[in-house]
């Protein structure tokens, strides 16, 4: 007994094969789209975090400069601003860096000062890309800082 597919059977087979091929390509396309969307979302979140971290680094620098310049007769608004900034940073900075920052302001030493705090925040922000910048490499300004000792 011989079985042969006639023209209608062959046509139906080709239509089914085409439909399966179309569905498979649709499935692959959707999976690829989903994967790309996930990667894009992760990238955007990482980018948002980096922007936020950089904004906070600016806040650290601003706070250090303000706190360092506070004097007994500074306006109350300067003290309020310094307190607000300090408290905001306490909510964001890792505990070791926050403690270092506070110690740099309250009792600076060669080991912990404003510049060591800047280096610590830099390492936090940039991770492996932070390089080997040291406090001695960071420019800072004060009256008479560039004059030679006589």
pLDDT given for residue 2 in this prediction? 55
Instruction: Give pLDDT tens digits for 52-62.
Output: 888 888 999 99
Q: How many domains does the chain have?
A: 1
Domain membership of residue 112 as a residue range: 46-136
Angle at 37 between CA 32 and CA 41, to 5 degrees: 150
Is 150 inside any structural domain?
no
Region of poorest pLDDT, from 64-68, 91-95, 111-115, 143-147: 143-147
- Whether 50 is in a domain gets the answer yes
Domain membership of residue 109 (yes or no) is yes
Ordered alpha helix ranges (H), the chain: 7-69, 76-90, 95-106, 114-126
Torsion sign over Cα 95, 57, 102, 104:
positive
Q: Give the per-residue pLDDT at 6.
A: 61
Mean pLDDT of 20-40: 93
- pLDDT beyond 50 at 36: yes
Evaluate whether residue 142 is within a structural domain: no
In a domain, 145, yes or no: no
Joined tokens for residue 83: 């307190």
What the block records as the tokens of 87 is 């408290």
Q: Is 132 helix (H, G, I), strand (E, B) or coil?
A: coil
């Amino acid at each position: 007994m011989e079985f042969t597919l006639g023209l209608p059977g062959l046509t139906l087979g080709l239509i089914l094969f085409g439909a399966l091929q179309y569905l498979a390509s649709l499935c692959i396309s959707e999976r690829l789209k989903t994967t790309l969307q996930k990667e894009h979302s992760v990238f955007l979140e990482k980018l948002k975090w980096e922007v936020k971290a950089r904004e906070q680094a600016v806040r650290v620098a601003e706070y250090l400069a303000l706190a360092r310049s506070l004097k007994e007769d500074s306006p109350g608004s300067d003290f309020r601003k310094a307190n607000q900034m300090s408290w905001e940073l306490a909510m964001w900075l890792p505990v070791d860096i926050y403690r270092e920052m506070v110690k740099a302001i309250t009792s600076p030493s060669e080991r912990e000062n404003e510049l060591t705090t800047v280096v610590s925040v830099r390492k936090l922000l940039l991770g492996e890309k932070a390089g080997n910048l040291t406090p001695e490499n960071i420019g800072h300004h004060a009256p008479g800082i560039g004059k030679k000792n006589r």
